[in-house]
Amino acid sequence: MKIGLQTWGSNGDIRPLLALSEALQKAGHQVTLAASSIDNSSYTDICQRLAIGYRQVTAHIDFDMPAFAQKTFRMNTLQWLNALLEAVFFPYEQTIYEASKQLVEENDCVIGHHFLYPLKLAASKQKKPHVSVTFCHGAISMAEQPPFKFPDLSPLINRFQWHILDYIFDFALKNNLSKLWLSEGMPAFKHVFPELLNSDFLNLVAVDPLFCPYQNQWHPIHQNCGFLNLSDTAETWLISEDLQEFIKQGEKPVYMTFGSLQQAVPDWSMDLFIKAAQKTNCRAIIQTSSDRYPPETQHGDIYFIGKHPHQAVFKHCAAVVHHGGAGTTHSATLSGCLSIVVPFMDEQLFWACQLQHLNLAPAPLPARNATATALSERIREVLQSESMRLNALKAKNKIDPGQGARRAVQLLAAALSRIPP
């Protein structure tokens, strides 16, 4: 079967679709991945290694990520999302839609990032199966549990609270997101979630079952496949000899990163990490975001590293300080690491609370309240907790790194088999 995949966003939005593309190709399908990278990274080389067709949708996205990050640092989640869309989605919406139409025309089935409604639109008009992929289950309504940050009152009231959340999303997003849909003659939809941003056929929830205790309360359209993790053979990055030597020098270090969000506050992030490591008196590997601390350099018990696939290094660490992104959360847990989460927005706070509930992390430390002393206290709490360390090992043993991609292929095959000839 010919299958087209399309995604948009940062590396964290593209890697899971790469992992799914790899699994589909191994299952015997002819696969093409179209990606719009907001940091203009190209995935040509890895797709060539995996025998996957690749298209870069828009040759260049004009986006000053550091300036945007600094501008939006203190916005709430919906304000931040609207600002991001205005900067790097709506100006390229028509180009993305044209790529979607081509992908649908050339393939038997298409799979897209949950936000790529242009792909759902193109598939609907050409009457081709469309599957969405969701990386965070926090916005999937449940029969009895309330939405995140809403009080748990009763099943009836909790269901009503999900309707309130629908209207909040609609108020913030519906006007701009509906323009292309309606301009193409499609019928009006009631809510952004789920009508516009989820498949009507199959929505793959790319979250490990460890984090989804209430998946039986989801609508059947939402199927939990597990984390979409690239195979070891897909990666070519190797740990440098200097880093290997640092790792061997003493106790397992604590890894520290805020991912792309470090660009919002590069100097503050580095100062926070360095001072917290010094206060804790622990060895640390810090993903650098400042010219003051070049990659592959060492200052005492701190090693500075550039961009790289996380799991290769995480497996040598005792804990990970991070912002609570879905990919980093899974990578830390897969590696048997405890987490100390410093969330910047609600989705990251959601993942922080998931980890805390599983006793894989202490209470979240919101970025606006983060100090070196507060971060040091949480690092010390994690390093000294034997129960948390045992929980991390149990969680690691529960997760099969390749399960998500295999399960996704199985769910797709089962869904497609139900389509009448």
Query: How far apart are alpha carbons 298 and 266 in whole angstroms?
Result: 18
Give the DSSP H/E element, type plus range, for residue 122: helix 117-126
Domain ranges of the chain: 2-231+402-417, 236-398
Residue with tokens 């089962």: 414
Which CATH fold would you assign to the domain 236-398? Rossmann fold (3.40.50)
Domains 2-231+402-417 and 236-398 fall in the same CATH topology: yes
pLDDT of residue 133: 98
State both tokens at 60: 């260049």
- Cis upstream peptide for 194 (omega within 30°): yes
pLDDT of residue 322: 97
State both tokens at 420: 């009448």
SS3 7: strand
CATH annotation of 2-231+402-417: 3.40.50.2000
pLDDT of residue 93: 97
Question: Given phi > 0 = left and psi -120 to 50 = alpha, else beta, which region is 359?
Answer: left
pLDDT of residue 217: 97
Amino acid in position 10 = S
86 backbone dihedrals φ, ψ, rounded to 5°: -65, -30
pLDDT of residue 223: 98
Rg (alpha carbons) of the chain, rounded to whole number: 21
pLDDT of residue 67: 84
pLDDT of residue 68: 86
pLDDT of residue 239: 94
Give the predicted TM-score (pTM) of the model. Answer: 0.95
Amino acid in position 339 = S
β-sheet bridge partners, residue 113: 133
Mean per-residue pLDDT pooled into runs of 10, the chain (421 residues) = 96 94 97 96 94 95 85 82 94 97 98 97 97 96 95 96 95 95 96 93 97 96 96 88 96 94 86 97 95 94 94 96 96 97 94 98 95 98 97 95 96 93 75
pLDDT of residue 71: 80
